[in-house]
Chain A
């Protein structure tokens, strides 16, 4: 069991607030942390990693204290059994892909393990390349490999897929699932993407201003948020004419009929949402 009870004063764009989180995580699970920007998500996982020191509280991992204010215990990041994947990859530019992994490989481990990991993410042909010629998806896969190479007890992923396109996100989600089934680390993933959370996580919390406002299975949380199926499309008005507005939404230009009052009120460039409760189900499988 991983027991978190941490408090930390944070400075956000909307002013100072206190991160105050009590959370028990079952080891070996994938759990997600969601919430608006500046809610304290990254701070929370940096506190777990030992990169940020809380003001008070305790962190217990399998009954071992990683942090305990009362007993003055604060393990350095080096002594915590963790892997950390940053949103911006943070591969070391002075090292090749293989050297990045070699750097992370614990002493006395078989270097063949690097080849196995590279094969698993289908990047073995890029082993001798420097990271700056790789695409975002390739970089993030290497970052994942580098974080998992030490077989950490806890893998912390800070919005690892946020900068990737949908296709690459799916590939990376599968890589995360594969790594989880192989090494069984507890994975904490910070994410904004409901589909990703539902796909990966067995439990999630939502943070608001540093406090947990919701804790449940992702599917239950999202079910609560929408008790009947409504499809919402966000778009930007690019033109308006007699009784119609032209929207750019879902990567397409759409023409929508509107009332005269709406036409008077809405302006070109406004962001709008269209909600529909009528739908047709079509499989995207080939």
Chain B
């Protein structure tokens, strides 16, 4: 029983940590992109979305190379935190932050860009700083988008397979998350177990998306009533 649930628990643990960190990193990213004008802004926006179009194996390959002890990122984590990124849970977290970043940043940024410019202008004329305006005016007015962004980032991290397999391999209890476990069970011809994992992930995906739609519809309909 434990061995069955282990990949699912690992997936949820990975997705929870990644979503929490992504919310913080994504908010900072959205703050910079929405409150400042600078050269290279379009490039920064494009970089966020690269994981959406790049084949997961390509992303996984580059991450694997950079996670090596001799590489910049790998040696940084090795020397500073004594953490080996390749084929470790920590490596999966870092990778998740990269491949799920667009799912956090894009909905939040799009919602903020859809707010009237006068919100920002009005706060500025009241003497409020950019960070105060962002935290007190912009963020509270895009709550549905934040919920959607968190849920989508969580769900996408749970479902990612290619990148995880490339950089994490298939180590039980360390990197064998649910999506990799399905692949593993199919390889071993254990179709019943693969079936169970797949069904759980399928229902989880439907549930998550339904909850997002219900939440957003509630927000919209309450706004309409007023």
Contacts and interface: CB of A to CB of B under 8 A. Distances in A.
Interface of A: 46, 49-51, 76-78, 82-84, 86, 88, 90, 92-94, 103-104, 106, 130, 132-133, 146-147, 150
B141 A51 contact: no
Interface in B127-174: 127-129, 136-137, 140-141
Contacts of A94: 137, 140-141
Contacts of A78: 124, 127-129
Interface stretch (B4-12, B74-82, B98-106, B115-123): B115-123
B223 interface: yes
Nearest to B136: A103
Nearest to A156: B125
B125 A92 contact: no
B37 to A, nearest CB: 11
Contacts of A51: 121, 124-125
Contacts of B137: 92, 94
Contacts, number: 53
B122 A150 contact: no
B226 interface: yes
Contact of A93 (B123, B125, B136, B141): B141
Mostly, the B contact residues are helix
B126 A146 contact: yes
Nearest to A79: B127
Contacts of B118: 86, 88, 90
Contact of A86 (B122, B129, B141): B122
Contacts of B136: 103
Given A94-B141, A104-B126, 14 more contacts: A49-B121, A76-B124, A77-B124, A78-B129, A83-B125, A86-B118, A92-B119, A92-B122, A92-B123, A92-B137, A130-B226, A132-B223, A132-B226, A146-B126
A90 B116 contact: yes
A77 B125 CA distance: 5
30 contacts: A46-B121, A51-B124, A51-B125, A76-B124, A77-B121, A77-B124, A77-B125, A78-B129, A84-B122, A86-B118, A86-B121, A86-B122, A88-B116, A90-B119, A90-B121, A92-B119, A92-B122, A92-B123, A92-B137, A92-B140, A92-B141, A93-B141, A103-B126, A103-B128, A103-B136, A132-B223, A132-B226, A133-B226, A147-B125, A150-B127
A90 B124 contact: no
Contacts of B116: 88, 90
A84 B226 contact: no
Interface residues of B, number: 18
B146 to A, nearest CB: 12
Interface of B: 116, 118-119, 121-129, 136-137, 140-141, 223, 226
A49 to B, nearest CB: 6
Nearest to A49: B125
A150 B43 CA distance: 40
Contacts of B122: 84, 86, 90, 92
A3 to B, nearest CB: 21
For B127, B136, B140, B226, the residue with the greatest tally of chain A CB atoms inside 10 Å of its CB is B127
Contacts of B226: 130, 132-133
A51 B118 CA distance: 10
A109 to B, nearest CB: 12
Give the 9 A-B CB pairs with smallest separation, nearest first.
A94-B140, A84-B125, A77-B124, A90-B122, A90-B118, A132-B226, A104-B126, A78-B127, A51-B121
B126 A150 contact: yes
Nearest to A87: B118
Contacts of B128: 78, 103
Nearest to B125: A84
B125 A106 contact: no
B152 to A, nearest CB: 23
A106 B140 contact: no
A183 to B, nearest CB: 16
Contacts of B125: 49, 51, 77, 82-84, 147
Nearest to B116: A90
A131 B136 CA distance: 16
Nearest to B226: A132
Contacts of B140: 92, 94
Nearest to B141: A94
Nearest to A99: B136
Contacts of A83: 125
Nearest to B118: A90
A140 B111 CA distance: 26
A57 B42 CA distance: 31
For A46, A88, A92, A106, the residue with the greatest tally of chain B CB atoms inside 10 Å of its CB is A92
